[in-house]
Every structure is written in C-alpha cells, then in structure tokens.
Amino acid sequence: MSAPQAAPARNASRAVWLKNLHQWHWISSALCLLGMLLFSVTGITLNHAAQIEAKPSVTRQQAGLPAPLAASLAAYAAAHDGERAALPAAAEQWLRDTWSLKAGGRPAEWSADEVYLPLAKAGGDAWVRIALPDGAAEYENTDRGWISWLNDVHKGRNTGPAWNWFIDIFAGTCLLFCLTGLLILKFHAANRPFTWPMVGLGILVPCAIALLFIH
C-alpha cells in the first residue's frame, strides 16, 4: 500500500480506536461517579478522623429468657463449651421478638455459664450476653454517628459480603476508567504538548512525598 493510501487507513483506524476508548471512558466514569464521590469524601474524613469529634450513643437493655429456652440454651452450651457456634433458631427468634435483632447465624461464644453474641456493624458496635444459670439477657448497642458509618463503609469494615463485592467491582471499573483515560491522552498528546509533563507530574509528586515524608 502506498503512503497516500496508508494515511487514510491509519486515520480511520485511529478514529475507531478513539471512538471506542471514549465510549468505554464515559461508561466507566458514569458507573464510578457515586462511588468516586463517596470514597473521595470519606478519604478526607478518614484522614482527619482525629480532628472530627465523635460522640457515641450507647443504649443498654435487659430482659429475661423464658425458663424452657434458658434450659435448652444451658444444655446446648454444655455440649459446645469453648466453641463458636450460631444460636439455636429459638434463641434467634427470641432476639427478634424482644429487641428486633437479627442474629443471622452469626457465631456466638459459648461457655458453661454464659453465651456472648458479638454483633459488629458499620459505624458502631453491639452485643448480647446471656447468663445461662438464670436466663438474664443484656443487650448493648453503640452508635458512633454517620461519619463513623461512612468511614467503615469506605474500609469495608463490618459491611457484609455484598458491599465487599461492590468495592471489588468498583475498583475494577475505576481501573478501566484510568486506563482508557491514559490511552485517550496518548492519542491526543501530539497536539497537546503539556500532556506527558502533566502525567509525569501526577506520578512524581505522590512518589516524592512517599519517599521523603513517609517513614
């Protein structure tokens, strides 16, 4: 193919590549928009967690198990002493009826005289303790506020498998967004002389700060 014929072919191929890159770039940016805003804001709140005052709200409640349920839990505890195992279905139902708690099969810590159920959650903490000799139950719930909740969501702390999957998919979409943006820069770099100096600056600044100031 002669040079005059090759140039239009190269231009056509370049136009197809740019069209596809722009399409994937805007699609990935649209999918990432809310996640990027969320993770950017919570990145600031995490970085200044010591300066953002949190006032935890603690709620405590007490109740007594019915005697038959307490007896069955005591027998269950004797068979699972020192183990971590989920509460029996009857005990989980009692928690739902009494405090609207959903244990969801979470493992509890069993001993001969007590069962302790941790209920960790984003933005706070909760637990239930049941004294087996008399069936006395205690529930404590700690809420550290919406900023703490957002920070835990950022870290994927106590957020469940669905959110953890979202973080992985979101990270992959952000990677696609960055790579397509880089390739678009490459195509336009010839007409924009500051493209690669700006890219280099974006790489150099965080690397220099990490090497010089992180110890």
SS (H, E, C) the chain: CCHHHHHHHHHHHHHHHHHHHHHHHHHHHHHHHHHHHHHHHHHHHHHCCCCCCCCCEEEEEEEECCHHHHHHHHHHHHHCCCCEEECCHHHHHHHHHHHCCCCCCCEEEECCCEEEEECCECCEEEEEEEECCCCEEEEEEEECCHHHHHHHHHHCCCCHHHHHHHHHHHHHHHHHHHHHHHHHHHHHHHHCCCHHHHHHHHHHHHHHHHHHHCC
| pLDDT value, residue 13 | 77
pLDDT digits (tens, 9 = 90+) for 167-203: 999 999 999 999 999 999 988 888 888 889 999 999 9
| pLDDT value, residue 6 | 61
User: Sorting pLDDT into bands at 50, 70 and 90, what band is 49?
Assistant: confident
| pLDDT value, residue 144 | 92
Question: 3 pLDDT exceeds 60?
Answer: no
Average pLDDT, stretch 36-60? Answer: 90
Distance between CA atoms of residues 52 and 43, nearest Å: 13
| pLDDT value, residue 163 | 94
Q: What is the pTM of this model?
A: 0.79
Question: 9 pLDDT exceeds 70?
Answer: no
| pLDDT value, residue 192 | 86
Distance between CA atoms of residues 94 and 72, nearest Å: 13
